[in-house]
Structure 1
Amino acid sequence: MVNVAVIGGTGLCGSAFVKLLSSAPSVEKVTAFTRSPLPENLQSPKIENIVKDSKEWTSSIESLENTDIFVSGFGTTRHVDPTYEIDTGVNIESAKAARKAGVNTFVLVSSFGASAGSRFPYMKMKGQIEDEIIGLKFPRTVILRPGLLLGDREKPKSGKFLLTLGKSLRGTFLDRFVRGTYGDEVAKAGLYEAFKPLTPGAEPEVIIVETPVATAQKYE
């Protein structure tokens, strides 16, 4: 049995993680750090929901006990200012706190094209977050790089046209350009990799999932 902590549990990908974890037989407890309470459909006896401002998560994360996996589905929209400080600050500080708490596996929802050397600010930011977390040397780091995120949101990050286009291109040769991915596919891909047994004494392992849709199909 494993214990899992999640940040960003009310977002598209984060909520998909929480939902899957609450029904996973191998999971004993889920600690969900959120800025607003989880909706009723995500509440479960297995879930402890800690509701705080994201600036206050770090101390609580450091105090986690017997937590095996930490999932970050936290991310801001590209149109929120200052996106960089919010996204990098919360993700990196939470990762550092999780490392101090003895977490073995860190799962990060990043983005297609993420690279610290990218010319595009959003991709560059995501790449810098990845590099910082890899540098913490968790026994296992899982990085998910979905393309256009598909699914219902209270406040869509992308325009309705792009979301409609992404759905219509699924399964066509043009999908390689947008890589439309549903939130539950991202979560399944992340948990498939996170639930694999760790090899004691092995070097830190970094798993980068460029096509979450394909990996999600392996999740049971």
Structure 2
Amino acid sequence: MGAPVGGREVEEDRLDKVLTIPNALSALRVAGVPVFLWLVLQPYFGNPSLDEWAIALLVVSGITDYLDGKLARRWNQITRLGQILDPAADRLYTISTLLALVLRDIIPWWFLVLLLARDVFMALNIATLRRIGYGPLKVNFIGKAATFNLMYAFPLLLLADGGDSLAQFARIFGWALAIWGAGLYWWSAALYTTQVRRLRLATVR
């Protein structure tokens, strides 16, 4: 009996770790959100565009998003903090980018509302999980794919803020990725809701 208890203690210690490289990458992504907003909103405040730097920061964010999950799995450094920081960084970048693009009249308000409504829907699911004694579930593959599409759509939509041929090309592909990403975003919410429903039914039984 002693070995399993010891194994559980080791697992709990691992999950409670804070100072890991994947967590540091996730924390850097979160810290980059206000910097990104400051960069992308310069034209809104009447200043020269810094969109190139904003796009570069989005690219770095996408790379670190890939690395933190990959390294956490490879080095067995999946932690509770990482499970919070990783999706939080995704949401913050998504919401801040959408807000900036709306303020600059690059995308319409309805697209922002569509994605924010999904986050509200997910918050209700998480509240249900807490009520039945569960923490947030792991982000599913569809959810990561949705974020991937949106994170590629946003730089293209920024590039589309112009009148040259590159802007027209970026507008077409940017909106294609944005619409596909929004669809996957809601699909992942539906899958998450199914998991929550199963857990809720299991607790009732």
**Normalized against structure 1, the TM-score is what?**
0.27
Q: Which has the higher strand share?
A: 1
Larger CA Rg, structure 1 vs 2: 2
Q: Which has the higher helix share?
A: 2
**Normalized against structure 2, the TM-score is what?**
0.29
